[in-house]
Amino acid sequence: MKIHLHLFGILVSAAFFATLPNSAMAEPQVLVTIGSMQVTSDDLNAALASSPFATQSASMDEDDQAGLRGDMLRRLVAARLLTLEALRQGLDKTGGYKLDMENFRLGLLYRFYMDKLRERIVIPADTLAAMKQQFNGDPDGLNAAKAAYVAVQFKTLKLATLQNLLKLDHTRLHEDRIKEGPKANTVLMEGDSFRIRYADIVDPKEHAVPPNPEWVKEQLYNRGELLLVAMAADKEGVDVSDKLKQYQNERLPAVMLEAKTKEWIPDEKTLQEWFAKHPEVAIVPERRHVGQMVVGTRKEAEYLRARIIKGESLFTLAGEFSIDPVGRKQKGDMGWIVEGRGMPELNSALSGLEDGQISEVIETKEGFHLLTILEREPGGKKPYIEVRNRIRQIVINEALRPYLGELERRYKVSWRVIKNT
């Protein structure tokens, strides 16, 4: 989601952002404090590295890089503001949020345990030697062979581990109860330290009709495996608190925004009313594939126009005579131009042209133009349903801006960005 933010009273030096080195700074610098929270240079670098601009930013000019870093920093500050407000409102105490966090914690523990299990697999020296001989000089082939070997061993090891965990916890499975029409509290699997009820794996809100028993069985197995492995990791003292905290920092702003969005857009009518007031949002302008040549005098333009009408190609002549360097290089092909864009005189002339017709000579400050339209994509008006999501985003953005201003006044935002002189 693109958040446009206005945090006032900020003088951020573009040079500072642009000159932060690629390599991690020795000590992370606190860039902004927001109430009890902060954004450091490490936070900013990590956010940039995981953003869609990660690759693109390296080749940007310094000013653009500075702009990107500044924009990203504002987003991080906005996220912290939303987090603080979510905590103030106790959104982290709701059942849904707690369940979300617990499921994420279980997932982290599961992944950690499985990764450790995989790391225990060692390719025996003689097997490795045979592989190296077979794939001599072919590192990709060797890697594929190693991966295939580890995958087979991991499957066996995982199965053995699960069997052991099931046995140690005296796990019992009540598959027969799935077909008997289970109730929300019907226990489908249980062990010494866990119990899975029907409601744990089937949310009645998502299933008006009882789901297929086979699907339920699969969910049950998945849940059982997740719980057993996560419990085993827990017993071994695996600490996932850092990653959980990181997830909380990402999740709480989203939860806060979801809550506010329900307030700003309580129903579909809100969006429909906004659409009624702003019908232009659905208008799609015509797109035209335009050919053009520009020359220095009207006389020359009239002469060339006559040659084109007699059968010569505007594009061939543009490549030879156009005084516009780009146009000459592209032999008059100006690509697809959206109706309403560009010089008004040219736009006006294009509006009256049929496909393939050569325009009259048009005078602008650039010279004397001849235009033609090769093909066009007609414009029109999109139905509400096609612009609904866009409208929703606009409404959120419009409400978010003043809301963040309000939060800034509630929580002290202190910018510690030092101007690089």
Binding interface with another protein (CB under 8 A):
21-23, 54-62, 65, 120-124, 126-127, 130-131, 134-135, 137-141, 144-145, 148-149, 152-153, 156-157, 159-164, 166-167, 171, 173, 175, 217-218, 221-222, 224-225
Burial class of residue 109, CB neighbours in 10 A (0-12, 13-18, 19+): buried
Tell me the closest approach of the beta carbon of residue 75 to another protein, in angstroms.
21
How far, CA to CA in Å, does 153 sit from each of 120, 121, 145, 149, 235?
10, 7, 12, 6, 25
Tell me the closest approach of the beta carbon of residue 19 to another protein, in angstroms.
10
Tell me the closest approach of the beta carbon of residue 47 to another protein, in angstroms.
16
Q: In whole angstroms, what is the distance from residue 394 CA to residue 259 CA?
A: 17
Structural contact between residues 332 and 314, judged by C-beta atoms closer than 8 angstroms: yes
Q: Using alpha carbons, select from 216, 217, 223 the residue that is nearest to residue 194.
A: 223
Tell me the closest approach of the beta carbon of residue 148 to another protein, in angstroms.
4
Q: Which is nearer to another protein, 223 or 401 (CB)?
A: 223
What single-letter DSSP state applies at residue 343? -
Q: Which is nearer to another protein, 20 or 317 (CB)?
A: 20
Q: Which is nearer to another protein, 140 or 267 (CB)?
A: 140
Q: Using alpha carbons, select from 244, 181, 195 the residue that is nearest to residue 223.
A: 195
Q: Which is nearer to another protein, 289 or 328 (CB)?
A: 328
Tell me the closest approach of the beta carbon of residue 251 to another protein, in angstroms.
26
Q: Which is nearer to another protein, 56 or 297 (CB)?
A: 56
Tell me the closest approach of the beta carbon of residue 153 to another protein, in angstroms.
5
Can you spell out the DSSP letters for 198-259?
Answer: HHHH--TTT-SSPPPHHHHHHHHHHHHHHHHHHHHHHHTT---HHHHHHHHHHHHHHHHHHH
Q: Token pair for residue 22?
A: 């690629």
Q: In whole angstroms, what is the distance from residue 361 CA to residue 295 CA?
A: 10
Q: Which is nearer to another protein, 46 or 87 (CB)?
A: 46
Q: Which is nearer to another protein, 156 or 364 (CB)?
A: 156
First to last CA, the chain: 34
Tell me the closest approach of the beta carbon of residue 135 to another protein, in angstroms.
7
Orientation of helix 241-264 relative to helix 95-119, angle to 10°: 150
Q: Which is nearer to another protein, 129 or 283 (CB)?
A: 129
Tell me the closest approach of the beta carbon of residue 152 to another protein, in angstroms.
8
Phi, psi for residue 41 in degrees, rounded to 5: -60, -35
